[in-house]
Structure 1
Amino acid sequence: HERLGVLLGVPVFASDAISSCAYATDEILIGLSVAGVAALTLSVPVAMAIVVVLVLVTLSYQQIIRAYPEGGGAYTVAKENIGRRAGLVAGAALLIDYILTVAVSMTSGVENLASAVPALVPYRMWLSVLGIVLLTWLNLRGVRESARVVAVPVYVFIATAGTMVLLGLGRVISGDYQPYPLPDLQPTHHLGAWVVLHSFASGCVALTGIEAVSNGVQAFREPHVRNARIVMAILACLLACFFFGMSTLSRAFHVMPAPGTQTVMSLLGRKVFGETWAYYLLQFSTLTILILAANTSFQGFPRVARLIAQDGFLPRQLANLGDRLVFANGIALLGAIAVALVIIFRGSTHALIPLYSVGVFLSFTLSQVGLLRRWLRERPPGWFWSVLACAPGALATGLVMCVVAAAKFVYGAWMVVLAIPGFVRMFLRVRQHYDAVARQLTLEGFERPKQRPTNVVVVPVASLHRGTVFAMEYAKSLGKNIRAVHVVTNEEQFEALKRRWQQWEPDIPLIGLPSPYRSLVRPVIEYVIAMRTQFDTVTVLIPEFVVGRWWEQLLHNQSAILLDWSLRHLKGVQVLHFRYQLEP
């Protein structure tokens, strides 16, 4: 396992923490644009307010790293310090956050690519779908990027984006720059508190991913807590500088993004670098870091799903490692849902953003409130200063969560507001099921049956062939009470079958089951139910032949599958399949 120092820790966690600057400023400007061009002057104050929240959150998560050196995900912190229900709420928020990270990062990356190559604009949605499918496939194959491989594109992005911000600010300070023409925006809303709050809520997506370091403390070299805190501080500084710098430059250069065609990153890059190799390097590195951000969710989502599944609140299949030592079920589920979201929202990052921030800030808040409760309960040395560092962050993220939910509710946040309690309800129902199964399977207070149950073997026979003969021989090994049954849809064919049956199986009766409506399944079910009144157990042995090639199976009817499905819920009925293999 590759342990990380500060130099490699920055790029490994940077994709989560700083990739959001690729679309956060866009959302602020789009949110303010509804009040006309004059409202765009507020983009810098809004960005400053978001940076203040970023500082408070960073200080709080520094405390979480110290308190949970084994990795303090929101699910664990909330469950241990607030309660099981709070942990499930945090778990639901995290799963939704990971799903949206994949969808938003991929669509934003494709939009930045399309900004540089306009011919790709009509294919944004399908390029995003293709990207998610490829990421899903790679993760199912067990492909893992090494820290050194990831470091190259991340540091290229940091270098190119940082150069763009520094050169742009230098030109603004010196006055040697030519802004874009002022955008022609027709106001549709009055510039009031609601528009500003809506813009603030949109821009808060800048904070998504900043908690990633706290979930991966164990990935660092010793002293891992100190190294993790240093890396988180560096990433918070980079994010603040990039985000606030881009917001400031957007105001100075009169940048107004066009959702789906031109991003702030592309427009600023063109002004600073021109149509040079540096501009295309910036756009390509932006696409790369957003793909890496999406890829981190393919590791985070299965991990959280595994924790919840181990506690019995999700299907246990999500806790199972696949043959390539990956949580294949969680990876496939994440990929499928992310693809569905991209298609539903037509590959638009702007349309997906309203769904994004509610779950993020809910998990922020629960983590910090959980940590506050721990400090107040245990009161370790220095607890008072830890509370002072953590409390403002918990208050700030709680308020931001309310603002985001209210401001973005009609734009799509309502889906997440309803989805989170829906997820929690699903978690509880899954746990109720597992508890009920455990109660019925436990050997506590159970006594072994004092006598063996009576049994009859029922063999449905459609026709007489080699597979049927072998199936009857197997049935004789199960017991002496054997009944062969045939659903009669043609009397002449049934009489011919009986004559052949007497030649091959004279010791076993062949019973005809009338079927006036030509149903092949219902007569067998009714006969089995009748047998259950005479025997404790009915064993239904279904003969079937297996062809050599998969497509050949489509040439034969699937009555065995239908019969099996219909019988599986009958109490006291056991279903066996006798498969006779045919040569390909």
Structure 2
Amino acid sequence: AVPNFKEPKSKNASMTLVIMALILAFFLTGITFLSFSYGITPDTHVTVLAQIGQQVFGHGVFFYILQIATALILAVAANTGFSAFPQLAYNLARDKFMPHSYMDKGDRLGYSNGIMSLALGAIVLLVIFKGSTGSLIPLYAVGVFVPFTLSQSGMIIHWWRERDGHWLVKSLINFVGAFISGVLVVTLFVLHFSSVWPYLIIMPMLLRVFWVINRHYKLVAKQLRVLSEEPIKRHRYDGATVIVLVSNLTRATAEAVDYAKSIGNTVLAMHVSFDSNPQKEHRLGTEFKREFPEVRYVDIHSSYRSITKPAMRFVDEIAKGTKERNYSLTILIPQFVPRHGWQNALHNQNSLKLRTALASRDITVSTYYFHLKE
């Protein structure tokens, strides 16, 4: 949260950390003293704070104020993750180690994708550990002290590189912090391995995912980058070929063909037919040729009711011809859009399958949308 402070940020953040540390030390010392004085021991049914409250206040109003205050502090602590993780995810996404969608803000000006991801991860952990805090706390502690160890070790390297001011003293302080944190991590793995073992699986997987994402973004940037000292190689086409995918002769199909004729020198209509109803397929071809006599109609037969494979084979053949003629190739898919979003579930999604398959080819895939009014 250092970037959220006013200038001088480092000084203000340091003072805040000192104040927080003093408050924590004060409460920890008080709880330890009262626990020792009243002879309180851990109980699976009653927390240490509740036992102290019973001893000091009995079961009066102040006891319940103490319990409510404790619950509110825990709620704030739980919320800290939901305010900090989205910012962390944003920083990782900015550095190209997480998807760029984590940089997007939602309607409430929060990083919604980070919040939802954290909530999903928390739910998964609660299910795995059946909501047992006794099992989750060691895992949480490992998640806390491993970063502490890494950050303190990183500061040691920083001071040895900079060698500014009292760098030896600062390095010694950070070494003590790294050593204590490291010992705690080892201790947790030795004493609570049954609770912390998921860390050994999750973290290597996350690191691998981060590396793959970063590598992908670097490769994309390398391929898309336009260098000023290198001229852009532009391809000049002599014409355009447009293939319109036809399932039925509808208004959507007719308008798509008219649009294809306006942008293409050559227009082809492709239809995939099946054995189930040959008369219907023949009638469709006759009606299409009567409606669009200048457009070449191609009927591709499929014996296995597969649309994607025959369509892809035809497109590949046409692509070879257009390349020889130095023509661009566009696949135009007519699709009607229902008035209400839920109505999409009532219709087949063949166009989506075809778009997904055609995305693997070096061609242009376009959709002609026909909006239904009722």
Shared fold per TM-score greater than 0.5: yes
Q: Which residue of structure 1 lines up, in the alignment, with residue 333 of structure 2?
A: 542
Mark the CA change 1:358 to 1:446 in structure 2 (over 3 Å): closer, same or farther.
farther
The Cα offsets for residues 160-210 of structure 1, whole Å up to 9 and x where unpaired, read as: xxxxxxxxxxxxxxxxxxxxxxxxxxxxxxxxxxxxxxxxxxxxxxxxxxx
Does structure 2 conserve the Cα–Cα contact (< 8 Å) formed by 1:528 and 1:538? Answer: no
For 1:551 and 1:325, locate their aligned partners in 2 and report how far apart those are by CA, in whole Å.
28
For 2:359 and 2:58, locate their aligned partners in 1 and report how far apart those are by CA, in whole Å.
68
Q: Which residue of structure 2 lines up, in the alignment, with residue 502 of structure 1?
A: 289
Deviation, structure 1 residue 398: 2.1
Compute the TM-score of the two structures, normalised by the length of structure 2.
Answer: 0.89
Aligned pair 1:578/2:359, yes or no? no
Root mean square deviation, CA, Å:
2.4
Q: Tell me which amino acid in the other structure corresponds to 2:280.
A: Q
Deviation, structure 1 residue 223: 6.2
Deviation, structure 1 residue 336: 1.8
Residue ranges of structure 1 left out of the alignment (5+ in a row): 1-214
For 2:367 and 2:235, locate their aligned partners in 1 and report how far apart those are by CA, in whole Å.
29
User: Taking CA–CA contacts closer than 8 Å with sequence separation of 6 or more, which of the two structures ends up with the larger relative contact order?
Assistant: 1
Deviation, structure 1 residue 492: 0.5
The Cα offsets for residues 355-413 of structure 1, whole Å up to 9 and x where unpaired, read as: 1122321211222222222222222223333234333222222222222233322x232
Mark the CA change 1:281 to 1:488 in structure 2 (over 3 Å): closer, same or farther.
same
Q: Which residue of structure 2 lines up, in the alignment, with residue 395 of structure 1?
A: 179
Q: Which residue of structure 1 lines up, in the alignment, with residue 93 of structure 2?
A: 309
Aligned pair 1:371/2:169, yes or no? no
Deviation, structure 1 residue 577: 0.7
Q: Which residue of structure 2 lines up, in the alignment, with residue 438 of structure 1?
A: 221
Deviation, structure 1 residue 447: 4.2
Does structure 1 conserve the Cα–Cα contact (< 8 Å) formed by 2:239 and 2:265? Answer: no
For 2:209 and 2:81, locate their aligned partners in 1 and report how far apart those are by CA, in whole Å.
22
SS of 1:477's equivalent in the other structure is helix
SS of 2:97's equivalent in the other structure is coil
* Sequence identity percentage: 34
Compute the TM-score of the two structures, normalised by the length of structure 1.
Answer: 0.58
Does structure 1 conserve the Cα–Cα contact (< 8 Å) formed by 2:89 and 2:102? Answer: yes
Q: Which residue of structure 2 lines up, in the alignment, with residue 486 of structure 1?
A: 271
Q: Which of 455, 461, 475 lines up with 2:246 in the alignment?
A: 461
Between 334-343 and 485-494, report the one with greater CA deviation.
Answer: 334-343
The Cα offsets for residues 198-240 of structure 1, whole Å up to 9 and x where unpaired, read as: xxxxxxxxxxxxxxxxx437525x6665554443333223323
For 2:208 and 2:101, locate their aligned partners in 1 and report how far apart those are by CA, in whole Å.
19
Deviation, structure 1 residue 553: 1.6
Does structure 2 conserve the Cα–Cα contact (< 8 Å) formed by 1:372 and 1:390? Answer: yes
Task: Identify the structure with the greater strand proportion.
Answer: 2
For 2:241 and 2:9, locate their aligned partners in 1 and report how far apart those are by CA, in whole Å.
66
1:286-365 alignment runs, 5 A limit: 286-365=70-149
For 1:302 and 1:469, locate their aligned partners in 2 and report how far apart those are by CA, in whole Å.
48
Deviation, structure 1 residue 278: 1.9
Q: Which residue of structure 1 lines up, in the alignment, with residue 43 of structure 2?
A: 257
Does structure 2 conserve the Cα–Cα contact (< 8 Å) formed by 1:375 and 1:387? Answer: yes
SS of 1:531's equivalent in the other structure is helix
For 1:556 and 1:225, locate their aligned partners in 2 and report how far apart those are by CA, in whole Å.
58
The Cα offsets for residues 300-326 of structure 1, whole Å up to 9 and x where unpaired, read as: 112222222222222122223344432
Deviation, structure 1 residue 249: 4.2
For 1:223 and 1:437, locate their aligned partners in 2 and report how far apart those are by CA, in whole Å.
38
Q: Tell me which amino acid in the other structure corresponds to 1:517.
A: Y
For 1:305 and 1:223, locate their aligned partners in 2 and report how far apart those are by CA, in whole Å.
25
1:1-150 alignment runs, 5 A limit: none
Between 354-363 and 462-471, report the one with greater CA deviation.
Answer: 354-363
Q: Tell me which amino acid in the other structure corresponds to 1:402.
A: V
Does structure 1 conserve the Cα–Cα contact (< 8 Å) formed by 2:242 and 2:268? Answer: yes
For 1:392 and 1:282, locate their aligned partners in 2 and report how far apart those are by CA, in whole Å.
35
For 1:509 and 1:219, locate their aligned partners in 2 and report how far apart those are by CA, in whole Å.
68
Aligned pair 1:413/2:196, yes or no? yes
Q: Which residue of structure 1 lines up, in the alignment, with residue 342 of structure 2?
A: 551
Mark the CA change 1:496 to 1:225 in structure 2 (over 3 Å): closer, same or farther.
closer
Mark the CA change 1:271 to 1:453 in structure 2 (over 3 Å): closer, same or farther.
farther
For 1:530 and 1:223, locate their aligned partners in 2 and report how far apart those are by CA, in whole Å.
66
Does structure 2 conserve the Cα–Cα contact (< 8 Å) formed by 1:250 and 1:256? Answer: no
Mark the CA change 1:344 to 1:240 in structure 2 (over 3 Å): closer, same or farther.
same
For 1:269 and 1:477, locate their aligned partners in 2 and report how far apart those are by CA, in whole Å.
82
Does structure 1 conserve the Cα–Cα contact (< 8 Å) formed by 2:5 and 2:12? Answer: no
- Equivalent residues, number: 365
For 1:396 and 1:256, locate their aligned partners in 2 and report how far apart those are by CA, in whole Å.
24
Does structure 2 conserve the Cα–Cα contact (< 8 Å) formed by 1:368 and 1:393? Answer: yes
Does structure 1 conserve the Cα–Cα contact (< 8 Å) formed by 2:358 and 2:365? Answer: yes
Does structure 2 conserve the Cα–Cα contact (< 8 Å) formed by 1:255 and 1:268? Answer: no
Q: Which residue of structure 2 lines up, in the alignment, with residue 532 of structure 1?
A: 319
For 1:563 and 1:361, locate their aligned partners in 2 and report how far apart those are by CA, in whole Å.
50
For 1:446 and 1:431, locate their aligned partners in 2 and report how far apart those are by CA, in whole Å.
27
SS of 2:271's equivalent in the other structure is strand
Deviation, structure 1 residue 576: 0.7
Does structure 1 conserve the Cα–Cα contact (< 8 Å) formed by 2:40 and 2:52? Answer: no
For 1:556 and 1:321, locate their aligned partners in 2 and report how far apart those are by CA, in whole Å.
33
For 2:55 and 2:238, locate their aligned partners in 1 and report how far apart those are by CA, in whole Å.
84
Does structure 2 conserve the Cα–Cα contact (< 8 Å) formed by 1:217 and 1:228? Answer: no
SS of 1:535's equivalent in the other structure is helix
SS of 1:232's equivalent in the other structure is helix
The Cα offsets for residues 258-306 of structure 1, whole Å up to 9 and x where unpaired, read as: 2xx5433333333332332222222222221111112222221122222
For 2:342 and 2:4, locate their aligned partners in 1 and report how far apart those are by CA, in whole Å.
49
Runs of 4+ in structure 1 off by over 6 angstroms are: none
SS of 1:464's equivalent in the other structure is coil
1:85-234 alignment runs, 5 A limit: 215-216=1-2, 218-219=4-5, 225-234=10-19
Residue ranges of structure 2 left out of the alignment (5+ in a row): none
For 1:387 and 1:289, locate their aligned partners in 2 and report how far apart those are by CA, in whole Å.
34
Q: Tell me which amino acid in the other structure corresponds to 2:316.
A: I
Deviation, structure 1 residue 543: 0.5
The Cα offsets for residues 500-528 of structure 1, whole Å up to 9 and x where unpaired, read as: 21332121122111111112322212211
Mark the CA change 1:472 to 1:450 in structure 2 (over 3 Å): closer, same or farther.
closer
SS of 2:84's equivalent in the other structure is helix
Q: Tell me which amino acid in the other structure corresponds to 1:328.
A: S
